Amino acid sequence: MEGEAMKESPKARAGANDFHTAIEEAHVVALWEMFDGEGGPQPHPEPAFHWPWRVLEPLMDRAVDETGMADAERRVLSLANPAHGRDDYFRATSNLNAGLQILMPGERARPHRHSMDALRLVIEGEGAATVVDGKRCEMERGDLILTPAWTWHEHVHDGETRVIWFDALDVPLVQDLDATFFEPGPAKDFPILPEDTAFTAPGLVPTEALKTPYSPLFRYPWIQSRDALAAVPSREDGSRQLRYVNPTTGGPVLSRLDCYLLGLESGKPTQRYRTTSNAVCFVVEGSGTSAIEEVTIEWETNDIFTLPHWSWVSHTAGENGATIFQSTDRDVMRRLELLREEQE
Ligand code: GTQ
């Protein structure tokens, strides 16, 4: 037996070793040894992750003690998903960054622009504004404010209390594509865009050709989004959904961030679905639970949690129903012909 093994295996093994040494030296990899050729995204995406407001809120106050706006470009706590490691601190989920930003009365986050798309969903406070390419966008709870790629933006605050908002950006995708550009202010050379009031009549848009790859509306006020969602017919599972769109194209508000508002009826689990796109959820109203593959998240108002791609998802709202804002990379996946969606 041993003699036989001595005759065949070592030779075969030596051959294999020679081969593996040779391919390593040649900087090539034998693919047939790496893939089984079946299934979805491999390895499976990270588990869903949850950042509760009760944990983050005290840290925002401490962030104010830690740094003044003279020293910080932006006072942001970036939500770093542990599945991606602490060094990858811009990844809340695969392609999406999220964070919380705080500005105190009288403070200002100076103007800059970057190649990343960004948006803000206001959590609390009054009297702050984001100035986007010279347009002043007031920030009130639930408002969506867009700061599209390469638009100048600064945050100012003339109010009386702290202002906190949710930030979402496409940082990981732009970093992976190595297309990050950043320029500090002063802001200059704004494109000429119609005032937001030019879009406030439903179904009417200016005929003047707008060449921006983003919505010319930079502010989507909460009172309008809330009333619109309330009027949307419910699906069979009790959920209602709105998409925030660029009124001139019907497409996503930003080239690489596609936003939705989801209304949930109390106690009714939504139909399970999965998609190749990723989402970061911000709970605008209510509480509930979400079953996301093997993870169940119990969320409350102002909590943030992720829906990683290709994970089966079902949400159930608590007593008074719930409203969830979702920032996604869905339209990126669609335009790349990589969007797959399934419902049970
Ligand atoms: O407010 O411009 O969360 O540049 C990360 C990068 C916010 C901002 C972030 C940014 C900003």
The predicted structure's pLDDT at residue 6: 46
Which element (helix H / strand E) includes 3? helix 2-25
Asked whether 99 lines ligand 1 (CB < 6 A), one says yes
> Residue 206 burial by CB count (10 A; 0-12/13-18/19+): exposed, middle or buried?
middle
Cβ 117 under 6 angstroms from ligand 1: no
Residue 172 Cβ < 6 Å to ligand 1: no
pLDDT > 70? residue 1: no
Distances (CA, A) of 71 to 39, 61, 110, 153, 187: 48, 17, 11, 18, 20
pLDDT at residue 31 tops 50: yes
Query: DSSP string covering 177-243, please?
Result: TT---EEE-----------GGGG-STT----S----SS-S--EE-HHHHHHHHHHSPP-TTS-EEEE
Please give the model's pTM, rounded to 2 decimal places.
Answer: 0.93
Ligand 1, atom 6: closest residue by C-alpha: 74
Task: For ligand 1, pick from 151, 167, 180 the residue to mutate: most ligand atoms within 8 Å of CB.
Answer: 167
Report, as an integer, the average pLDDT of 150-155: 98
Of 325 and 41, the structure prediction assigns the larger pLDDT to 325
Instruction: Extract the tokens encoding 3.
Output: 């003699």
* CA 39 to ligand 1 center in whole angstroms: 36
Ranges 58-62, 96-100, 211-215, 309-313: which has the least confidence: 211-215
- How remote is the CA of residue 108 from the centroid of ligand 1, in Å? 13
Strand partners, 153: 112, 132
- Any idea which residue has 């830690």 for tokens? 66
Look at residue 107 and give its three-state secondary structure: coil
Q: Locate the ligand 1 atom nearest the alpha carbon of residue 76 and give its number.
A: 3
- Percent of the chain's residues with pLDDT above 90: 85
Q: Cβ(69) to ligand 1 under 6 A?
A: no
- The number of CA neighbours under 13 Å toward the Cβ of 246 is 19
d(CA 123, CA 62): 17
Among protein residues, the one with the nearest Cα to ligand 1's atom 1 is 74
Distance from C-alpha of 329 to C-alpha of 17, rounded to nearest angstrom:
44
pLDDT score, position 17: 86
Cα 264 to chain centroid distance, Å, stands at: 20
Which atom of ligand 1 approaches the CA of 78 most closely?
3
Q: What are the distances in angstroms from CA 167 to CA 63, 78, 102, 145?
A: 16, 9, 10, 10
Question: In sequence order, what are the residues at sequence separation of 6 or more whose Cβ sits closer than 8 angstroms to the Cβ of residue 39?
Answer: none
Q: Which residues pair with 4 in a beta bridge?
A: none
As a whole number, mean pLDDT of residues 147-175 equals 97
Q: How far is CA 275 from the centre of its chain?
A: 15
Atom of ligand 1 nearest to the CA of 99: 3
Residue 286 near ligand 1, beta carbon < 6 Å: no
pLDDT at 14: 61
Helix (H, G, I), strand (E, B) or coil at 331: helix
Q: What is the mean predicted confidence (pLDDT) over 135-158?
A: 97
What rounded mean pLDDT belongs to the chain?
93
Sorting pLDDT into bands at 50, 70 and 90, what band is 41? confident
What spacing in Å lies between the alpha carbon of 10 and ligand 1's midpoint?
A: 59
What is the number of the ligand 1 atom nearest to the C-alpha of 147?
A: 2
Which tens digits make up the pLDDT trace of 253-280? Answer: 999 999 999 999 999 999 999 999 999 9
Over residues 58-83, the mean pLDDT reads 95
Query: What pLDDT is stored for residue 107 in this prediction?
Result: 96
Q: Is the pLDDT of residue 7 over 80?
A: no
Query: Would the pLDDT of 2 be above 70?
Result: no
Pairing of strands 118-124, 163-169: antiparallel
Instruction: Provide the residue type at 87 as one letter.
Output: D
Supply the pLDDT for residue 265: 98
